[in-house]
Amino acid sequence: MQSNTIPSITLPSAEHNPTQCRAIQYNSSMQSNTEIRKVVQTLEQTAREILILLQGVHQEAGFKDIPAKCVKVREHFSTVRSQLAILKTKFPSEQYYRFHDQWRFVLQRLVFLASFLVYLETEELVTREAVAEILGIEYEREKGFHLDIEDYLSGVLNLASELSRLAVNSVTARDYARPLRIATFINELDFGFRLLNLKNDSLRKRYDGLKYDVKKIEEVVYDLSIRGLSRSQPSTSSADK
């Protein structure tokens, strides 16, 4: 008598099926990309809000209100830390550079904003470690989500153009001592970058921009000198206010 038993069929699991495995990896990657993009958009919005606050220092009345503006900016950076904490959860830490391009530009913008903030507070260059602390991330690659050295350098280079603008607006606000201090700071920054062997094309182009900013600030200082204004005020930094 013939048996009616249906023979069992063993289907290959995903781990033994390369096509299915690739499909799963692709879907997982797409989901991570989507979630990362959403967080990056919130970071970009917060960065815009911080920039608006800092842009206020370029107004004549803004020079008198620098400490208060810095306090408000610090408060906004607490939001940035929360957003970056969420971003860390959207992908495995060992895949940092796989997704790095998605947040690279906003992170460079945040470095610039943090460096401008610290300059307004202390008139000193913020360190990479200090920026990482402001952002609530690591500065060592081995520890996971970190501040890449090239992102730090790019952000700092963006500071130069902002300070050249500040030097010009300082004259308008009759703060004649500030451009001299900015010139000293920018010259030291330029010297530091000249010691580096910049292999990144983008960094080299931005460094070319720094040379232009140095020249622009030197022209401001020279103009003050020939007008006899470079020594008309005692040197008072915002950190002393």
> Residue 151's closest CA among 214, 89, 200?
200
Return binding residues.
162
> Residue 91's pLDDT band (boundaries 50, 70, 90)?
very high
Domains of the chain: 22-240 (1.20.58.2140)
In the annotated binding site for Mg(2+), the residues are: 162
Query: What phi, psi does 146 have (nearest 5°)?
Result: -135, 175
Long-range contacts of 184-188, Cβ-Cβ distance < 8 Å, separation of 24 or more: 185/119, 185/123, 185/124, 185/125, 186/160, 186/210, 186/213, 186/214, 186/217, 187/214, 188/125
Q: For residue range 126-175, what is the model confidence (pLDDT) as tens digits? A: 999 999 999 999 999 998 999 999 999 999 999 999 999 999 999 998 99
Q: Which of 58, 26, 16, 20 is nearest to 175 (CA)?
A: 58
CA 125 vs CA 72, 129, 135, 145, 222: distances in Å: 20, 12, 16, 23, 24
Q: What is the pLDDT of residues 209-233, one digit of tens each?
A: 999 999 999 999 999 999 988 765 5
Q: What are the tens digits of pLDDT across the range 108-136?
A: 999 999 999 999 999 999 999 999 999 99
Residue that is written with structure tokens 């232009």 in the block: 212
